[in-house]
Structure 1
Amino acid sequence: MLYGITAATAALLLTATLTALLRSFSLRLGPAEGRGLPARRARPRAPGRGRPVPLLGGVAVAGTTALVGWAGDWTGAAPLGPEAGRLLVAGIAVALLGLAADLLPVPPVVCGAGVAVAAALTVPYDELGVPAGLLAVAWVVLVTQGFRSLDHADGVMGTVGVITAFALGACAAAELMDGLAALLSVLAAALTGFLMHGWPPARIAPGRCGSLFTGFVLASAVVLVHAERPAGTGLGAAFALTAVAGADAVLVLVSRWRAGRPLLRPAPDHLVHRLRRAGLTRQGVMVVTGLAAFAAALVGVCIDLGWLGAGAAWWVAGAVAAVAVVGAVRPGGRPRRVHPHAIPAPGGPVPRSLGRPGRPRPEAPGAVKVH
């Protein structure tokens, strides 16, 4: 117990410090000087005054989680065990793949294939069997991509990740999986330290490195915790614990299929984009998704502990289905196409086809970032 508190505190402080250092380093050597470090342009407060937001926050989250987790295993204070140790190694491999995608133009299909390979090496086939194990691999890839999609808005991925990690850590502790519970508590603390800088308006973002690492570790941990549970209880709890990320993935798949668009092409049709277009502020989007994640995770923990039946997951499934259907039919099903030469430069004059000429381009109230 004492080591868990010490490890969580160390992870929080170390991540907060390392994130600040990485942000300073990125801004010194970032794209503004043409040296290629990853950053995205934040929503400007005035025309032409956007600020760069570095994408190296995930390095701090993944690095701190690995360092503190392996320190506990090496000292014997909190041994990870073979399953949690293998999960951490695979998670670091996924984080490195995400970092490469942040630095280089790696196609999304390559990231998905890398996550699938890592999941295939982590899933416990002895408990699940080969058919169920392959389905678990596909589910891990889907949930991981869902967490990647949540990074389209400041603070959302980190908030949902913290809530999910704490809830899943409680489930792992109840199953006497102490090593996995310790790893999840360290991850939750690391994400909390990152949120000290990633709170909207974010000064640094987790990028693919942090979002893929977080999503993969959480999705794989859900499989490990519930591998030996009865099918109904295990599936219900697993679905509820990752409902927000799953809702985003289902929403994107349904809306792009209905619109006839490629499934892997980036577009502003994710859950956070739709919430922004509905009129929510950046802080509002984070609060709404955080509350939804908390409610769904609470249902998942209650199912796991036997306080609710597996049928309670249908409440969460109904909410996810409603969000997917309404979101696919209502705002933002297909983004408006504009000729690329008709898009003005930030702060520049607006062409006649887009507005009154000679005046700065106004910023749309629901402007969102797309990666």
Structure 2
Amino acid sequence: MLYGIAAATAALLCTAVLAALLRSPALRAGILDRRRQRPLPLLGGLAVAVVTCLVAAAGEWTRVAPLGDGVAELLMAAAAVAGLGLVADVWRLRARVLVTGTAVAAVCVVPYDETGLPGGMLAVGWIVLATLAFKGLDHAEGLAGTVGVVTAFGAGVCAAAEVMDGLAVLLSVVAAALTGFLMHNWHPARIGLGACGSLFTGFLLSSAAVFTRAGYDIGPSAAVVFCLAAVAVTDALLVVLARRAARRPLLRRGPDHLGHRLRRLGLTPQGSVVLLGAGSFSSVLVGVLVHLGWTGHGAVLWVAGGVVLVVVVLLLIPVPRGRRPSSTQVSGHLRVRSG
């Protein structure tokens, strides 16, 4: 318990300091997100990943807080996915490279002895989809970090209930690291999460949810992991339906995510993040209560109904036409840094 508090505190402070230090190198190296009104340096995610790995490794090395079976491998796989995201931040990578790399990492961490082969394959697919959906939340300042903190706490409670102490400590470290990062990412942001941080966080959280539900029936497990990732799923579903209806490429960036549409409803950047954070808290709370057995599985239907309602309502908000894409943009619309 004391180590968990000390580890989380160290992660928060170290991430806040490292993110501040990485801002200037990112600006000098041109590692920027140019989708914003002003270029935003993108090495904040590197700070989150590095600090999380170092703090967790210190607990494992000293044996004060050993990670437990499979959790060390999970952390190494998440670090590999973060490395792939860092390459995507520096150089453009095609989407299939991102999907393939994430899928390979997911295959390596799923506990097949508890899920079985069919359940394991479903878990791999879920981890890939949830990771990419979480990456999509990095379209608004503070959104991915806020949702990540809430989800990490919820998944940590589930892990603690399963007596997975190492995983619970790791998730608390992730939540603390994201909190330190948010000190620089709240509007107006001074540094961004980037593909490195969003992929690392999304992969770690989705895989942790699979770990905590391994051994349970597939149906209830699917309900719990859906609740833990409901905001990311809503954003992904909204974008897919909107772009399909407009016959636009799915991987071409555009102002049609949750945060963009809430802004057009008149919310401030901070207000939209707070609203979506509250939505994430509500859905994660339902998932935790279902996992603990304190409420029935029928409560998940309220979350699913809320997702459908939000998607339908926000689809009615028109998306402004962007500038006509140049030939370079058209040829590169399948690249990772597309929205």
Any conservation in 2 of the 1:233–1:309 contact (CA below 8 Å)? Answer: no
Which structure is higher in RCO with an 8 Å CA cutoff and minimum separation 6?
A: 2
Any conservation in 1 of the 2:252–2:338 contact (CA below 8 Å)? Answer: no
The corresponding residue for 1:23 is 23
User: Does 1:138 pair with 2:143?
Assistant: no
The corresponding residue for 1:264 is 251
- CA drift of 1:112 comes to 1.4
Q: Pick from 41, 44, 56: which aligns with 1:69? A: 56
Deviant stretches of 4+, over 4 Å? none
What is the aligned-residue RMSD (CA, Å)? Answer: 1.7
Distance in 2 of aligned mates of 1:201 and 1:295: 26
Q: Deviations over 1:179-200 (max 9, x none)?
A: 1111101000000010111111
Between 1:118-127 and 1:64-73, the stretch displaced more is 118-127
Any conservation in 2 of the 1:268–1:370 contact (CA below 8 Å)? Answer: no
Structure 2: state its 5+ residue gaps: 327-336
State the identity %. Answer: 57
Distance in 1 of aligned mates of 2:21 and 2:290: 41
- The residue type equivalent to 2:177 in the other structure is A
How does 1:78-227 map onto structure 2 within 5 Å? 78-227=65-214
Distance in 1 of aligned mates of 2:242 and 2:77: 32
- CA drift of 1:74 comes to 0.5
- The residue type equivalent to 1:90 in the other structure is A
The corresponding residue for 1:305 is 292
3-state DSSP of counterpart to 1:118: helix
TM-score between the two structures when normalised by the length of structure 1: 0.85
3-state DSSP of counterpart to 2:301: helix
Radius of gyration: which is bigger? 1
- CA drift of 1:127 comes to 1.5
Distance in 2 of aligned mates of 1:221 and 1:161: 13
Aligned length, in residue pairs: 329
Any conservation in 1 of the 2:89–2:194 contact (CA below 8 Å)? Answer: yes
- CA drift of 1:11 comes to 0.5
Q: Deviations over 1:288-318 (max 9, x none)?
A: 1100000111111111111111111110000
Distance in 1 of aligned mates of 2:261 and 2:155: 28
The corresponding residue for 1:59 is 46
Distance in 1 of aligned mates of 2:173 and 2:257: 29
The corresponding residue for 1:38 is 32
- CA drift of 1:25 comes to 2.5
Distance in 2 of aligned mates of 1:249 and 1:177: 30
3-state DSSP of counterpart to 2:266: coil
- The residue type equivalent to 2:132 in the other structure is Q
Q: Pick from 321, 324, 329: which aligns with 1:336? A: 321
User: Does 1:247 pair with 2:234?
Assistant: yes
Distance in 2 of aligned mates of 1:148 and 1:160: 11
3-state DSSP of counterpart to 2:34: strand
- The residue type equivalent to 1:11 in the other structure is A
Q: Deviations over 1:156-192 (max 9, x none)?
A: 0000000000111011000001111111010000000
Distance in 2 of aligned mates of 1:299 and 1:340: 42
Q: Deviations over 1:252-305 (max 9, x none)?
A: 222222222222222222111211222211101110110000011111111111
3-state DSSP of counterpart to 1:116: helix
- CA drift of 1:109 comes to 2.1
Q: Deviations over 1:214-251 (max 9, x none)?
A: 00000011111011123343222111111001111111
TM-score between the two structures when normalised by the length of structure 2: 0.93
Structure 1: state its 5+ residue gaps: 32-36, 44-49, 342-368
Distance in 1 of aligned mates of 2:225 and 2:33: 34
